[in-house]
Amino acid sequence: MYVVLAEGYSGDVHYGKTARGVVRYRRDDVACLLDSTRPGTEVDGVPVVGTLEEALVFGPDTALVGVATQGGRFPPAWRALLRRCIEAGLDVESGLHEFLADDAELSALAGEHGVELRDLRRPPADLSVPTGENLRVPATIVHTVGSECAIGKKTVALELDLEARRRGLASRFVPTGQTGIVIAGWGIAVDAVPADFLAGAAERLVVEGHRRGGEEFLFVEGQGSLVHPAYAGVTLGLLHGCAPQLLVLCHLAGQTEVEGYPGHPIPPLAEVVELYERSSLPARRARVAAIALNTRALDDEAARAAVDEAARETGLPADDPVRFGAGGLLTALRG
């Protein structure tokens, strides 16, 4: 059971990504959230407590770093909290850039108290380039890609996987980032691997997803965007390495510029569709089978209109699987 360390958690799409994902998809494994700025409230039914002592009453065995600190590093206040978690006998899991286990002080303290420090973004030591095994995985590989970061690629993959399982299909979600790893309990954070081994890491993930039971469908979480000025390399390496037959393009309704990068436009949706298809591996061309539109900022009527407009603009099936359910998209994929 987790106590999710969520100091200052605000629901901001970047800052609270891991806390939100784990509350949503591993609800039963979350004892409570720790956030001294709003004790006594709750997040999706999970109680928020203000102190570690109160959190311990819920009986967690693991503290999960649930928010993204500035630059992925641990400010002094966080270090103090992590020390107290370790001293309280909790294992600690973190998906930040800075690795807990490489910290001499925390590492020694963990040894003393017999707890484990798990760095979810640490790449496996034995990665290499792809071998071609990705093209031999006997399953339909669906990859959720995007026009932007943090608009729901992970969520869409999770919802499609849940819907496929509800229909009795042998399906698995394939995690490629820290939150996905917490949710699924396995995976590789592909953005943290040496760039040379991006595609090799992605290949390993689809091979493992198949072995773990994804015998009919694999839903591979996307990262970044081919038109994002910082992360497109990660996106393309993952796209090639996971070798999907089908893509679901995720887009935030109405967005025309990359967040945090003024002057960097998101091209029209039909152009983004074409870019992904043309960029796919020449040995296995991927086809965009559907648009997953994130309509979180709209009311129901406007959301319906935006979905219709996206379908019209691209000539593809479109839906918001979070708002309206993943059934329509899954049917389109099985098309």
The reply to whether 129 sits near a copy of itself by the rule CB under 8 A is yes
Long-range contacts for 8-17 (Cβ within 8 Å, ≥24 apart)? 8/35, 8/37, 8/67, 9/33, 9/35, 9/37, 9/43, 9/48, 9/66, 9/67, 13/150, 14/68, 14/149, 14/150, 15/67, 15/68, 16/66, 16/67, 17/68, 17/150, 17/179
132 is an interface residue for a copy of itself by CB under 8 A: yes
> Which CB atom, from 33 or from 188, has the smaller least distance to a copy of itself?
188
Q: What is the torsional sign of CA 194, 198, 200, 204? A: positive
Nearest-approach distance from CB 39 to a copy of itself, in angstroms? 34
**Binding track, positions 202-231, relative to a copy of itself; x by CB under 8 A:** ------------------------xx-xxx
Distances (CA, A) of 126 to 31, 58, 87, 136, 260: 35, 38, 33, 21, 35
Rule CB under 8 A: is residue 236 a binding residue for a copy of itself?
yes
The reply to whether 13 sits near a copy of itself by the rule CB under 8 A is: no
Cα 94 from Cα 69, distance rounded (Å): 11
- Position among 124, 194, 315, 325 found at the interface with a copy of itself (CB under 8 A): 194
Is 191 one of the binding residues for a copy of itself (CB under 8 A)? yes
Number of residues that bind a copy of itself (CB under 8 A): 43
Q: Which stretch binds a copy of itself (CB under 8 A): 33-41, 50-58, 189-197, 309-317?
A: 189-197
Instruction: Single out the segment in contact with a copy of itself by CB under 8 A; choices: 33-41, 111-119, 192-200, 209-217.
Output: 192-200
Nearer CB in complex with a copy of itself: 130/209: 130
Residue type, 90: L
Which 253-312 residues touch a copy of itself, going by CB under 8 A? 261, 263-267, 274-275, 278-279, 281-283
Q: Where are the beta strands (DSSP E) in 62-104?
A: 62-65, 91-94
Contacts with 273 (C-beta within 8 Å, 6 or more apart), sequence order: 249, 288, 291, 314, 316
Would you tell me which residues interact with a copy of itself (CB under 8 A)?
71, 97, 128-130, 132, 135, 190-196, 198-200, 226-227, 229-238, 240, 261, 263-267, 274-275, 278-279, 281-283
